[in-house]
Structure 1
Amino acid sequence: MMVSSSSSSWAELALLFFVAVVAHTANGDDHLSAGYYAKTCPNVESVVWSVMASRVGGGRMAPAVLRLFFHDCFVHGCDASVLLDATPFSEGEKDAEPNTSLTGFTVIDEIKSALERDCPATVSCADVLALASRDAVVLLGGPTWNMPLGRKDSRSAADKKFTRAHLPSPNDNLAELVRMFGELGLDARDMTALSGAHTVGMANCKHYRGRVYGTSDTKYNIDPSFAESRRQMCPLQGPSGDAGKAPFDVTTPMKFDNAYYRDLVAHQGLLNSDQALYGGGGVDNLVEMYSTDGDAFGRDFAKAMVKMGNISPPKGMPTEVRLQCSRANY
């Protein structure tokens, strides 16, 4: 059967368009840049800031949003997979044990809805989360930085087993932390600076009980008075169970500063994985520097956040710009 040259040309164009779309969708490694939305959604940063300032401010939701970004990037890169709800065909990362205490999802949804009104189907949930985490730090009194943009959203989440294996544990030692961060292209300095995110936020009793009672397999020096005060919030047994939460930093728990490192030097790290950074290990010098030089910590934290934010999904993973952060487009 003969086909007209006009029909053939249209078919070829359609095929080329389909191939281009599929290649873009499957690649997920577009070059990131701070001006990525300069023409397509120029108000993206002001929209994110407006919602964060009104919904979060310097309150407890700010550390929650920051934590979301960490837990997203550590599992298959910064692809907003942590925001996906489970489906009959796919588990959700948010349902894995380390993530069951995550909050802040409604804030991200609100930002995404506002952006869909301004510039539909343009800004990825992964970029929303990246910008929101930066603004959370700023709202808590911390540094700011130019966040490169252009991430894409994955169409599926990792399973629970993979998620658990790729998130740091409250009892990790220094070698394990260095290894886990290193697998993501983050060196020991990045790891030490990023750990400073624990200068804000709180931990559940079950994550620090073993440290303050001396019953965990991993043991680091702990200030006796600090241990006693934490035991008051976290009974070894009793009706409160694991409900007792404690701030990582007792003195300024809602201020993004360098007090976390001063706590480590004083052997008052809340988690074993916190105190692992100080006490004879290879990053003692960094901890001591950050404990006395808040500006140095702020600079290194900002650099490390950009570096972590550049972690891409695995090559070949299908990606898109989700219209709703909790589910794939179709």
Structure 2
Amino acid sequence: MARPAPSPLLLLVVLAGALAGGGEAALLKAHFYRPSCPAAEAVVRDIVVARVAADPAALPARLLRLFFHDCFVRGCDASVLVDSMAGNTAEKDAGPNGSLGGLDVIDTAKAVLEAVCPGVVSCADIVALAARDAISFQFGRDLWDVQLGRRDGVVSSASEALSNIPSPSDNFTTLEAKFASKGLDVKDLVILSGAHTIGVGHCNLFGSRLFSSTTTGVAPATDPTLNAAYATQLRAACGSPSNNVTAVPMDPGSPARFDSHYYVNLKLGRGLFRSDAALLADSRAAGMIHALTKEGYFLQEFKNAVRKMGRVGVLTGGQGEIRRNCRAVNS
């Protein structure tokens, strides 16, 4: 049976995403700081490696998530790092960003670089490098190359974070539209979702899949797309659907290793969030999952997808600014 034609709205979203930042992204290049701050990449790498070595289970996921959340709001411009001020609630204080971590690593790298090369290296590039270096730690080599030359944004809005960042409860149609608005396609959606192979999820973000809203004494109503035995384990760990303290691994069986096991879990009905299970609801997305269970293929495709994401909506040249402090726009 032929697939229905895409809706006019989705086509407009795809077009807008494809056009947004295209010219600016072309100005990014490898070793951008070699003439102006030769030590830039080494400084970030040394700081990230030292911190990840002390916290290998949690920090890589936090730094990768920070990069993802930054790029999905106004592009990869470090707007996620800005602190709220009187009259403006910034991105980091929006609900989806409440559990972000790793910001202190970015602060440390920026402070060192400002001492070495003041006013040269953007916070946006530090975020991009830190994500790569954190994930690469377990491999002992760079998993992907990072093109540099991003500049920092001067606007940060919590409301924009709420409307742009994909939610753990999103269905496939919503996920596809949010990714398309950034110039990312279904393949990018499936592959970047593989980042859930590391990190944890808090119970309140998936509790509705486990517990019925009916009165006490009625057996819990489980999302039928969720593996029953896995659901039982999650209910025991969480206790209630509103538990926002307890967190569980997003990739049971391989929670601290960046690998293809996320897709193995998906095929077994062990995707933690509705947004994970949603990948099986679309024939295009579901058709990609078997090949991605092969680790070499996943790592190669992730490299391509994360580099593409890193070019979303970037500011270059005379756009934006180079912040002196990643937490505040220059005055």
TM-score category of the 2 structures, normalised to the smaller one: 0.7 to 0.9
Measure, in 2, the Cα distance between the counterparts of 1:285 and 1:168. 22
Match of residue 228 from structure 1: 232
Q: Does 1:56 align with 2:58?
A: no
| Distance verdict in 2 for CA 1:153–1:35, change over 3 Å | same
Instruction: Return the offset for 1:314.
Output: 7.8
- Note the alpha carbon deviations across 1:102-134, whole angstroms, 9 max, x for none: 111101001111111221111000000000001
| Distance verdict in 2 for CA 1:70–1:38, change over 3 Å | same
Larger radius of gyration: 1
TM-score (norm 2): 0.85
- % of aligned pairs identical? 37
Match of residue 28 from structure 2: 32
- Note the alpha carbon deviations across 1:214-237, whole angstroms, 9 max, x for none: 669995511111000011111127
Aligned-residue Cα RMSD (Å) equals 2.5
Structure 2 residue runs of 5 or longer lacking an equivalent are: 1-22, 214-219
Measure, in 2, the Cα distance between the counterparts of 1:36 and 1:126. 13
Q: Does 1:300 align with 2:301?
A: yes
| Distance verdict in 2 for CA 1:143–1:48, change over 3 Å | closer
Matches within 5 A, 1:23-172: 31-57=27-53, 58-141=56-139, 144-158=143-157, 160-172=158-170
Instruction: Return the offset for 1:241.
Output: 3.0
| Distance verdict in 2 for CA 1:301–1:113, change over 3 Å | same
The question of whether the paired residues in 1 share the 8 Å contact of 2:91 and 2:159 is answered with no
Matches within 5 A, 1:204-243: 204-213=202-211, 219=223, 221-236=225-240, 241-243=243-245
Match of residue 291 from structure 2: 289
The question of whether the paired residues in 2 share the 8 Å contact of 1:172 and 1:272 is answered with yes
Match of residue 249 from structure 1: 251
Match of residue 7 from structure 1: none
Instruction: Return the offset for 1:315.
Output: 10
The question of whether the paired residues in 1 share the 8 Å contact of 2:67 and 2:127 is answered with yes
Match of residue 266 from structure 1: 268
The question of whether the paired residues in 2 share the 8 Å contact of 1:171 and 1:218 is answered with no
| Distance verdict in 2 for CA 1:218–1:42, change over 3 Å | farther
Measure, in 1, the Cα distance between the counterparts of 2:175 and 2:182. 11
Instruction: Return the offset for 1:280.
Output: 5.4
| Distance verdict in 2 for CA 1:213–1:281, change over 3 Å | farther
Please, which of 188, 196, 199 is the counterpart of residue 198 of structure 1?
196
TM-score (norm 1): 0.85
Amino acid at match of 2:307: V
SS in 2 for 1:151: coil
